[in-house]
Structure 1
Amino acid sequence: MADNRSARAVVDSVCDSFADLPAPPDEPSTVDGPIGWPGYDAAHAGAAERTGERESVLCGTATFGGVRAVVIAFEFGFLGGSIGGRTGALLESGFGYARQNRLPVVSLVATGGSRMQEGMRALTQLQRVARQLALHRSAGLAHVSVLRDPSTGGGWATLGAGADVTLALPGAQVGFAGSRVRPPGDDLAYTAESQRDTGQVDEVVDGADLAAALLRWLRVLAGPRLDEAPLPEALGGTEPAQTGWEAVLAARAPARPRADSYVDAYVSGRVVISGDRCGGVDPGVLCGFGVRDGGAVAFAAQRGTATEPAGFRTLARLVRLADRLGIPVLTIVDTPGAANDGAAERAGAGAAIAGLFEVIASAAVPVTTLVIGEGGSGGALALATPGRTWVTPDGYFTVTSPEAAAAILKRETDEVPAIADRLRLRPADLLELGVVNGIVGGPR
């Protein structure tokens, strides 16, 4: 069901203060709109009288715990929050003000899509909005979108899906097709929860928690940031491995600290992005932002499982966003390697790994890498930064696993430990080979 709260009620519930921006000039008046839709003028006037708004969106400046932002809020009671020519002008004005004043944008979306009473002129407003989103991104500014109920059509396909971070209210209808025009039989696919589970939405947030969630996001995306991501302290064992196989066993030990422990010790106030925006979520990666030493830092971590294509795309998404916003990145390597089954190949494993290699190589912000466990082949190397990689005493890096090397060389399984030695994968070997800059918490 549609969100029955007014746009101003929603704004009041999440912001400390709000002030409307000056409206852009009125467009030339016509009878019943640009295509002469019978009764459009009367419907528009009735919507204004019912809601107290002149259009389906309101734009203003707001504060969230001291963080200033431009807020765009849709009024669903105004012709279903539909996007027309005047709506496009208001959105353009709001994003323009955000760029001029170096402010993030928070969009509170509740719309049924483009306004059919204005015909193609309404639909072309999506191009106008897309242009503003592109300019906002190019300016290095953040955009957080909140999907209310419903968020469909062009509003979803621009402001919602095109945001840096997308939050949604529980049970909200989210999808390109609205309920009256989509095929019957799969209504669950058009929910906030389904969009989260398929990598399109970062987090489903209860309305009572929305103000706090927005404040957490704005503090890291639009607040002070560090110059570079400092190295974390080693949390596991500090004894150097005497053999290659000993290093492998240490990295594979079930009790060894994993990425979640490292991130918890590294930052406070962490917020997490989820999903690759291509239909996939890999629970084996942990990506987000937090605060350390008074500044924002980003983290992109593997959790010790084989990384899936959706995981590589999510890691790349995080690094790309941090780079655009000027936030330094810590990458944490811990994977036996890339997932290599048929499903992974069909999901584009090669292209996903290539994309991560590219985004790490092209990042303008400093990217610091720490190998905390298994560093399995290219699936691990894709997340590592040349010349800025360290390893913990209970980590290793290898061209391929000892078991895979044995299979390739047609050796017996009892030769695997000896092959591990020959691969020279221990932290001390990596340091001697110049693969890492140092051993954190161990001999250097």
Structure 2
Amino acid sequence: MTTTATPPTTGTEWVKCTGCARPLYRRRLVRDLEVCHECGHHQRLSARARIAQLADPGSFEEFALAPVPHDPLGFSDTAPYPDRLERARRATGEQEGTVTGTARIEGEPLVLLVMDFGFLGGSMGCATGEAVATAADEAVRQRLPLVLVTASGGARMQEGALALLQMAKTSQALALVTEAGLLTVGVLTDPTFGGVTASFASLGQVLIAETGASVGFAGKRVIQQTVPQELPEGFQQAEYLMAHGLVDRVEGRERLRPLLGRLLRLHRPGAVPAVPGAGCIPAPRVPGTTAARRAAATSGRDVWDVVRAARHPDRPTTLDYLDLAFDDFVELHGDRAHADDPAIVAGVASLAGRPVVVLGHQKGHDTRELVARNFGMPHPEGYRKALRLLEHAERCGMPVVTLVDTPGAYPGVAAEERGQSIAIAQAIARSSRLRVPVVSVVTGEGGSGGALALATGDRLLMLENTFFSVISPEGCAAILWRDAQEAPQAARALRVTAADLVHLGVADGVVPEPAGGAHVDPEAAAGLVARAVTEALDELCAVGAPELLRLRSARLRGIGAGRGSL
């Protein structure tokens, strides 16, 4: 291994922005991380410059890569391939278009691979394929996360089918890192296209696009020449990808290093101290007659009052709990197929020092927020985002915390066309067999399968003033009473409160709320939720995966099988 130092800044005092063409003072441009202070355009970086920006000073140790045949086809177009390689080496100072080694980012160790677009357009030939595979091998061998910074026009034509098959080689390499339970992060920079995008660049468990980056499979010119059609505004830009659920985040260059540091810390393996607490009221076991158990369950409070309290517009939302009860939440976006659903918030965070994956329905406190979040009613892409994060949690060995507050899944035509039922079913099934603990908390209303998709696991806790039901009271009243105004009566008949559901064996515990309800003192409510979830996780994380699955299976198998009737 060799240690690579940060290259000195050389060149003229003034350079032209490749975005707005304004003259820029070179020293200021370097200080601004090669981002134009006039238009915000991110200039393209060499691999060494990128490493210097991301890695802790002096921490990068480059891998010595095995040589590969430099001209396997004897290829020549307007110039012999070896001549093109030699010109690229002189222009960049690199032997190939990929630099890889170990490094630290904000003190966290990792394997880092960076592509250099200046070397034959960052095209992927056998040498790049070998570099990616080597980086993946080293990540597995050293048990380190892998971060890949891509900039490429695609597979290298001068190496023919050998270059094409590097897509399979590198995809397998990333799959092996994922199977090893290690974090992979793809940082997509301008431009990333073709065979690189359709292989290892898109296989990071977390995908971050740099602001303004162009990313896609086929370039605009190819699309327009092949299937002539008008391209939408912003097509294939980072922000366009974000809107279509294809990346987790879009970040400006100045935010990449701190974000990577946070992700690496949250995925750092290590022991988590047990935190004592008594935030969860144990599930009551009330002996006696059905009438006695029913009286204990309702505790004299009218069910409709509980329903109204659960829907109070000032009750804390998932984002409120993430702000008040969790540390260092990093939100991840998108289903990697269609869109990002704002009705479900997902990401990684820390709770009492323990890294967790958090999923939750998100409503809002006013009309603007409620409309923006679709009143907390997810589309299929929301559940597929949740499914993606559930799988991420299992791969990385992180427990899952879900916060449930929805009137139900969105019932529109578009949702049906995109497979709403399938998305919900897949989320429920995956949760039921996840090899890490899953703790769910109903924080407001739990409506039907749209709620259950985020409420299947090892523990189902309910705040005092919440409800969980097969259908909304209004829907039940409209169907069975033929009058939605009979919703209070329907709610009472459905037995939807936390105490009712503990007696029925559906819920496992009741989390107390501050006097007057969670909306009166959100900070205190968040503290109670944090204590209850931490206590549950302390218990569950002490259980091995086979026993965890056995107990979860027994719990679900026993629901409705003769125990817990009112």
User: TM-score interval w.r.t. the shorter chain?
Assistant: over 0.9
**Bigger mean CA deviation after superposition, 329-338 or 409-418:** 409-418
Distance change in 2, residues 1:247/1:423 (3 Å): same
Q: Deviations over 1:247-300 (max 9, x none)?
A: 211111101111111111222111111011111211011111112333311111
Root-mean-square deviation (CA), in Å? Answer: 2.3
Larger Cα-atom Rg? 2
Worse overlay, 286-295 or 13-22? 286-295
C-alpha displacement at 1:157, in angstroms? 1.9
Decide which of 32, 40, 55 is 1:15's aligned counterpart.
55
State which of 495, 506, 530 in structure 2 corresponds to 1:435. Answer: 506
2:260 aligns with 214
1:185 paired residue number: 230
Matched residue type, 1:8: R
Change (3 A) 1:396 1:240: farther
Match of 2:426 among 355, 358, 367: 355
Aligned twin of 1:63: 104
Q: Distance in 2 between matches of 1:403 and 1:226?
A: 45
Instruction: Work out which of the residue numbers 230, 247, 255 in structure 2 matches 1:201.
Output: 247
Contact 2:98 2:128 (8 Å CA) reproduced = yes
1:338 paired to 2:384: no
- Does residue 397 of structure 1 match 2:468? yes
Partner of 1:116: 157
Shift of 1:441: 1.2
Displacement of 1:225: 6.4
1:252 to 311, 315, 325: 311
Q: What is aligned with 2:34?
A: none
Task: Name the TM-score, length of structure 1 as normaliser.
Answer: 0.93
Alignment of 1:146-295 (within 5 A): 146-183=187-224, 185-186=230-231, 188-224=234-270, 226=272, 242-295=301-354
Corresponding residue SS for 1:321: helix
How far residue 245 of structure 1 moved from its aligned partner, in angstroms, is 1.5
Q: Deviations over 1:210-264 (max 9, x none)?
A: 1111111111123436489999969xxxx97812211211111101111111111
User: 1:141 Cα shift?
Assistant: 0.7
**Residues 291 and 20 of structure 1: is their aligned pair in 2 closer, same or farther, counting only changes over 3 Å?**
same
- Alignment counterpart, residue 6 of structure 1, candidates 42, 46, 71: 46
2:351 is the counterpart of 1:296: no
Residues 77-116 of structure 1 correspond to what in structure 2 (within 5 A)? Answer: 77-116=118-157
Match of 1:36 in 2: 75
- Counterparts of 1:70 and 1:125, CA distance in 2: 20
Q: Is the 8 A contact 2:438 2:457 kept in 1?
A: no
Deviation readout 1:125-168 (Å, 9 max, x if unpaired): 00001110111111001111111100111212222321101111
SS at match of 2:60: strand
1:128 paired to 2:169: yes
Contact 1:130 1:158 in 2 (8 A): yes
Cα 1:420–1:216 shift into 2, 3 Å:
same
CA contact (8 A) 2:70 2:82 kept: no
Structure 1 range deviating more: 338-347 or 180-189: 180-189
Change (3 A) 1:390 1:227: farther
For residue 175 of structure 1, report the CA deviation from its aligned partner.
Answer: 0.6
Matches within 5 A, 1:368-379: 368-379=439-450
Normalising by structure 2, we get a TM-score of: 0.74
C-alpha deviation, 1:180, in angstroms? 3.3
Residue segments in structure 2 that go unaligned for 5+ positions in a row: 1-17, 19-41, 281-297, 364-375, 515-531, 533-566
Tell me if structure 2 keeps the 8 A contact 1:224–1:294: no
Aligned mates of 2:220, 2:94 — CA distance in 1: 26
Structure 1 residue ranges (4+ consecutive) displaced by more than 6 angstroms after TM superposition: 227-234
Q: Which amino acid aligns with 1:286?
A: V
Shift of 1:117: 1.1
Instruction: Tell me what 1:53 maps to.
Output: 94
CA contact (8 A) 2:167 2:200 kept: no
**Shift in CA distance, 286/230, structure 1 to aligned 2, threshold 3 Å:** farther
Q: What amino acid maps onto 2:393 in structure 1?
A: A
Structure 2 Cα separation of the partners of residues 342 and 266 of structure 1: 37
Distance 1:232 1:151 in 2: 51
Q: Deviations over 1:284-320 (max 9, x none)?
A: 1111111233331111111141121111111111111
CA distance in 1, matches of 2:413, 2:402: 27
SS in 2 for 1:189: coil
Contact 1:228–1:328 (CA<8 Å) still a contact in 2? Answer: no
Structure 1: segments with no counterpart, 5+ residues: none
For 1:163, the aligned partner's letter is G
What secondary structure sits across from 1:130 in the alignment?
helix
Alpha carbons of 1:416 and 1:123: their partners in 2 closer, same or farther (altered >3 Å)? same
Identity between Structure 1 and Structure 2 (%): 38
Q: Would the alpha carbon gap of residues 83 and 73 (structure 1) be closer, same or farther in structure 2, given more than 3 Å must change?
A: same
In structure 1, what is the Cα distance between the partners aligned to 2:277 and 2:489?
32
Contact kept? 2:133, 2:170, Cα under 8 Å: yes
Pick which of 2-11 and 250-259 moved more. 2-11
State the distance in 2 between where 1:170 and 1:232 align. Answer: 45
Question: Is residue 229–residue 329 contact of structure 1 (8 Å, CA) maintained in 2?
Answer: no
Equivalent position of 1:311 in the other structure: 382
Bigger shift: residues 381-390 or 190-199: 381-390
User: Compared with structure 1, are the counterparts of its residues 80 and 289 closer, same or farther at alpha carbon in structure 2 (3 Å cutoff)?
Assistant: same
Partners in 1 of 2:474 and 2:112 — Cα distance? 55
